[in-house]
Structure formats: C-alpha cells, structure tokens
Chains A and B, each alone.
Chain A
Amino acid sequence: MEKKKLTIAITGLNNIDSPGPGVPVIRGIKDSNLNARIIGLAYENLEPGIYMPGLVDKTYLMPFPSTGSEAFLERLEYIQEKEKIDIIIPNFDSELYLFIKYSTKLLEMGIHTFLPTMEQFEERHKDNLPEYAKKYGITVPESKAIMNSNELANLPKPLSYPYFIKGKYYEAFKVSNQSQAVYYFNKLSAKWGLPVVVQQAIHGTEVNVIALGDGEGNTVAAVPMRKQYITDKGKAWGGITLNDERLLEITHHIIKQTKWRGGMELEMIKTDDGEYHLIEINPRIPAWVYLAVGAGQNIPEMLCRLALGEKVDPVTKYEFGKMFIRYSWDLIGDIADFEKIIIFGEL
C-alpha cells in the first residue's frame, strides 16, 4: 500500500442490464496498489453502486449534464469542499463534454482528470466517422448522416440492406427494408436528435479493444476481446480476451495518429476474409474493463496515475482466453438509505 490516501470519484454506478463502467472501474482501483477512498457520483437514486456494500465510501447525487455547467460546477464545488477529491473518472458519454470543457477549472479546484481533448472528443462522433477514417487511414463501413427520412429512399451506393441505423448518442437497430428504416429513423431522431446515422452492416464477428492512450501517441494499455453473448440491448454478457495482433496494430495506429488521451473502446467488425472495419469509438472506459484487469492490465489504476502526472510504462502483456461472465445479484437494501439519497442527495 502506498502511503498517501487518494480520493477518487467515479460516475456510472448504474450496474443494470445496460451497465455503466463505474462499478468495474472501482473494482480495478481496489485491486491495485492505490490507497483510495472512493466517492460515487450518481445521477439517479437507484443506481446499484450507491447501495453495494464495501464499494463506495460515500455517494453524492449529481445534476444531469443537460442542466448545464452552472449547476454541474456548483454541485462539484460543494462536494469538493467536503471531500477533497484528487481524481474524477467520468464514465458517461453524455457528461464528457462538460468534464472536458471544464477540466482546467477542475484542476484549479484540485481535481485531476485524464480525458481526450475536446477536438479528439468531437472528431470521433458517429456522424463524422467517414471523415475520421479518411484522415487517419482507417477502414470503416459505408455510412451517411441523415437529416430527413426522405433521404432513406435514395441512399448513395453502395449502402444497401441490411444496414444499421444509429442514434446520435446511443442505440442502433439493424434494418432490412425501408419501412423499418423510416420507423427507426423517427424513433431515434425523436429521442437523440439529428442527425441519424445509417451505417452499412458488415458481415463478420464483432471484436472490441479497450485501450489507454497517454496523449503523446503511446498506447499504455490495450486488450482485445470478443463478445460471446450479446443481450438484446447489444451489451456483452460474456466475453473472452483474444490474441489478435492485427487488431492491436490498428489500435496502436489510431492512438499514435490521434495522440489519444485517456481511456477508449474501439468497436470493430472482423470479416471472414480477415479485414477489420471500425464501427465506433467510445471516448471512455467501457463497462467490460474488469476483464482487462483480470487479464493483467489494470487500466483504471494506470489512468489514475496518468491523471496525477506520473509516468506510466506501457504494458503489452495480458492473458489470452480470460473470460468474463456478467451476472445479476439481488442486493437487499433498506428504505432508510433510499430516503437519505432522496432527501439529502448523499449517502
């Protein structure tokens, strides 16, 4: 154990059927040599991480990011006064914008983060993927950002059925005819706004990489994985680490080219002829991060050290064939805890 006790705040405690990465990130930190006090930051009062015994030392409710920076900063200042947080690891796509935009301000408050730059964050958006691919020499499936459902009737070649239709922030549906496409276009645009992205479905196996870039082009950690079982929400319910050198090469290439800073997840399709198509870049640690920890790369710990400005040597070793199997577990809670969260916003 190191002497100095760090206070580390984590969001994404929603370990539900479409889980956030908070709980596995905390587990990674607890498995490491860091001597940490863990502060949970929750957006909803039933996020399981709030109530899991031995996980967080204290939880605070946070205003939704959509409320804007004023409320967000006000709340963090309040929490900071009490907790003296050293590091925050934000885990939701929707909150990253604020954390990135105000990272200097947070640092002035004493809070370290290790996040992509605003440019890196903006440029990897789904609707910008074709340009991104061109700029960095990556293969991506044909795709187009759509503003109007009429455009679905004459999509540019070679887009053809089946394809995926994706919401601006979240959700994707595979469609194989126009009426399905229009239906999901309306649904996704109502929920996440415009544009909606149409992306060619590629036949193959979905493989993912979790990686950590140091902001100077070095890949500090990277572990590839194949989802073994996918829920109806598209989330992995089981996965296995892979020995896939090509996939790691692509990861190193992307991180080197973009000088990516922070955690990331690359979602790729490997076709039967062994080609790789990048379908999405998530600008944060994914929920399956604990598999990487189990395979020998403690990404949450390394991220904390990078955030504090320590030098972290790249790790390349990990065990192949390590598996994770997600399970659910009914926790017995007490309404008195619930009451505290509801009334005081703290537990």
Chain B
Amino acid sequence: MSKKIYERPILRKVVEGIPNKFGSLKRLRPVETIDNVAINDIIDEYGSPVFIISEKTIRETYKTAYCAFSTRYPKVQFAWSYKTNYLDAVCRIFHQEGSWAEVVSGFEYEKALDNNVSGSKIIFNGPDKSDADLTRAINNKSLIHIDHFDELYTIIEILPKLKERPQVAIRVNMDTGIIPQWDRFGFNYENGEAWNAINRILTDGGIDLIGLHIHIGTYITMSKAYSIAIEKLAALANKTFDRFQKSISYIDVGGGFASQNTLQGAYMPATDTTPSFDDYAHAITTAMTSVNFPNNETPTLILETGRALIDEAGWLAGSVLANKRLADGRRAMVIDSGINLLFTAFWYDYEIFPVQETSFQSEPTTIYGPLCMNIDVVRNNIDFPLLNKGDRFVIKRVGAYTMTQWMQFITYRPNVVLIDLNGKVHVIRKEENKEVFRIQELVPKHLQNK
C-alpha cells in the first residue's frame, strides 16, 4: 500500500485583517533551472552561495531596450554604467552589443580600457577625477562630463600640457519633479550655474563643449521627469547656440530606469507597475523630437541605463542553514547569503524561490543572512514554504549593484558564474580564499614571531 504524501501539521489562528489564504496564495512555484541549466548542478559544482548570470537575458534585455529607443529616434547610443556591474565578462557582453562605457573613477576607467573600449567611447562621469585621470582621459579623447567648477578649473590648468583638445559635457542638475533632487552632482539649471559653466568653458577657447548630461536619480518610475529634463537641456543648448554659435552633438539622459524589483513599502509588486522600456522610450524620444535643437540638428541620445539592463539577468543561489522560531512564534529561516552579498536588500523586497518542489504549505517567514548582525535581514515577512536545513533557494533579479557593492565581512565572496548562450557555465569571478587577503596584508617584523 502506498503511503500518503507528507505535509507537516499546522495550526493557524484565524485573525481578522490578516490576508486570507486565498489572498496570499500566490503559490510559490520552485525555480529549478536558469536557461535550462539545473541550479542544483551549479551549486554542486561551484559551491553555495553562488551568483549566476544569464548571458541570454543580458543580450535580450539590451536588445529590447535598444529597439525601444532606436525605432523611435535616429541616433541612439547606450553607455554601460560600470558601477552597476563591472565584472569584465558582463561589460564585454554589453560592449559586444554596441554599448560604450560609462565610468566614474580611475579604477573603472582602467577596467574599460582593459575591456578594449576605445578612449573616445568612454564617458567619464563623477566628482572624483584626479589630475592624472583627467590627463589620460583627455589624451585618449574620452568624453569628460564635468561635475563641478573645481574640475573645470583643473582642466583649464592642465590645458597647456595636453595632447588633445578636451571633449567635454557638463552634468546638469535640475528640478524635474523627482524627489529627492540629486542636486549635489553637476551644475544647477534653475539658479543659472549651468549657464555660467557653459560660458566659462566656451570663453576659454581651448575646450570643446560637445554634450549636455543629466542623471536625475535612480529607480525613476515617472517617465515624464525625463521629458522635463530634456526640455530644460534643449533650452540650454539653444541659449548656447545663440550666444556662441556652437551646437551640442549629444544629450546624455543618464540612467535611472526602474527594474522589476519591488521597493520596500510599495503597495503593488513592481512587475505590475514598473514602466517598460517602451514607456520610457516613448517619453524620452517624444521630448527629443518635439523640442527644437539649434539649426534643426538632431543630437545623439545617450543612455547610461544600469539597473534596468542587468538586474533581471542576475540570480543568487544558496542553501538554508537553519530554521527557527522567534520569541513571538514567527518563523525565521537563516540562509547562507546575507546583506554582505545583497546590500540592495535594504530597499528591495527580493523575490526568493525554493529550488525544488516543496510542501504546499507556507507560512509568514523572516529570512536572515548568516552575519552576526541584527540588520542582516534578506527578506521580512514573506509567505514562504518550509525549507529544511540544506535545502536550496534562489533569489531573483540581483544583477545590479550587488557584485559591486558587496562587502567582505567575516567570509569570502563566492563564485560568480555565467551561463553562455549554449548553456555552458563559466566562472567569471573566482571565489575568494585566504590567499587573496594574505597578499594584501603586511605584518610588521616585530609581530612576525611564531
């Protein structure tokens, strides 16, 4: 006689105001494979936890985004925002698809060069550019996006020593209705600072102002904000032309498109509310074509989209360490990946799935990471099936900012693997070990005694 399928006994109090089971019951189906590769096999081979990146998803997402813009506007250029994910393999996929590089530090700049991006296709952003960084970038004909007057004066100062004329844009900040206003970067539009900067650049004569740049914030769900920004940049471009007879050859609208990760506190899941690339493209290209640029010229539209291009392609798979009951009876699950790997868990409600078929029952659960810190919460109060110690899970949409903001606290960073278009798995960043750290550390002689 065959036995019945086992489901652990439950007792649940009926509480008013708590979602009924027909309410919360979006039954969590397991995610067993990524691009047809079994997650279990990846963990068996590359350890737990492990970041998994899908080349297929990156390329498909990029193509969707590129199509959304290029079918609506004649000159479109993406520049891969290195800070979002600067693993070389990832950057090179974007470069193969046609992306330039957008970097914000000497380190990122060197990475871009190492990834064979030609200097003229590197956009150098951010407030932190040393004299040496600037000299090298200008001599490589890279696009310098000036952030503040001190940077502008540095460029003017080093002009005599440069081999090339600096190709610059200014970063502009402005009121687009987005709160908070990122007014700490670039020159302000409303108070005339941006116009002053343009005057200073163009009266010098040794510098070419070729673009205008904004980055209005990140996770912007109001596509209208981009339209407002473009109108203001167009006004600047016209004013510049009227005064100096110089036209701008590109408008860089920065990054900021939301991914489909849900922000904590949002009422609806982001999968229902996030604008699509088509929505953003519609707003942005409509604005680009309806404003008049000087001479009826059509400036190139540059996009530094980060999050929205890579979040979906990244996964983090790992294992359950323990189950607990908290003092108030709530269930808690401890997993082997914490906020050391998912800094972003502070503001996202990540979707997390079991890797294998589980019992039908689920229970409100808090998911903790392994760090010895109270703030190490990966997911608060999620209706989750009971996994046992050793069972595996996978967290969805972790491609953006995780592999750059991760921290090395009490343990090593894990392997990152890439599934290529043929389903072959490659390690693209090796897990760390004690040698990695020993190389960096020096022990003074008087402490070297055995």
Contact = CB atoms under 8 A, between A and B. Distances in A.
Contacts of A98: 268, 272
B207 to A, nearest CB: 37
Contacts of B21: 345
A101 B272 contact: yes
Given A45-B14, A46-B16, A342-B14, A67 B267 contact: no
A76 B305 CA distance: 37
B180 A61 contact: no
A21 to B, nearest CB: 20
Interface stretch (B23-31, B53-61, B144-152, B318-326): B23-31
Interface string A282-307: 00000000000000000000000000
B179 A64 contact: no
A195 interface: yes
Interface in A57-75: 60-71, 74-75
A128 B22 CA distance: 35
Interface string B246-290: 000000000000000000011111011100000000000000000
A194 to B, nearest CB: 8
Nearest to A63: B23
B265 to A, nearest CB: 5
Contact of B26 (A70, A101, A169, A193): A70
A5 to B, nearest CB: 27
B192 interface: no
Contacts of B19: 63-64, 67
B265 A345 contact: no
Interface in B307-330: none
A280 interface: no
A81 B295 CA distance: 61
Contacts of B24: 63-64, 67
Interface in A154-208: 169, 193, 195
A147 interface: yes
Given A63-B23, A147-B180, A44 B16 contact: yes
Contact of B272 (A63, A69, A342): A69
B16 A75 contact: no
A103 to B, nearest CB: 14
B25 A63 contact: yes
A71 B180 contact: no
B262 to A, nearest CB: 9
A315 B16 CA distance: 42
Nearest to B16: A46
Nearest to B270: A68
Given A66-B268, A97-B268, A61 B20 contact: yes
A309 B88 CA distance: 58
Contacts of A345: 20-22
B26 A68 contact: yes
Given A62-B23, A69-B272, A70-B26, A193 B14 contact: no
A75 B22 contact: yes
Contacts of A45: 14, 16, 20
A44 B18 CA distance: 8
Interface in B5-49: 14, 16-17, 19-26
Interface in A93-132: 94, 97-98, 101
A63 B22 contact: yes
Given A45-B20, A63-B24, A147 B268 contact: no
A61 B22 contact: yes
Contact of A147 (B20, B179, B266, B271): B179
A69 B265 CA distance: 17
Contacts of B273: 97
A68 B269 contact: yes
A43 interface: yes
A64 B23 contact: yes
B274 to A, nearest CB: 12
Given A45-B16, A63-B24, A193 B180 contact: no
Nearest to A343: B21
Which of A44, A62, A67, A74 has the most chain B CB atoms closer than 10 A to its own CB?
Answer: A67
Which of B16, B266, B272 has the most chain A CB atoms closer than 10 A to its own CB?
Answer: B272
A195 B179 contact: yes
Nearest to A75: B22
A248 B268 CA distance: 35
Nearest to B271: A68
Contacts of B272: 68-69, 97-98, 101
17 contacts: A43-B20, A45-B14, A63-B24, A63-B25, A66-B268, A66-B269, A67-B19, A68-B26, A68-B268, A68-B269, A68-B271, A69-B269, A70-B26, A74-B26, A97-B272, A145-B179, A193-B266
Given A62-B23, A64-B24, 14 more contacts: A44-B20, A45-B14, A63-B23, A63-B26, A67-B19, A67-B269, A68-B272, A69-B272, A97-B268, A98-B272, A147-B179, A147-B180, A169-B267, A345-B20
Interface of B: 14, 16-17, 19-26, 179-180, 265-269, 271-273
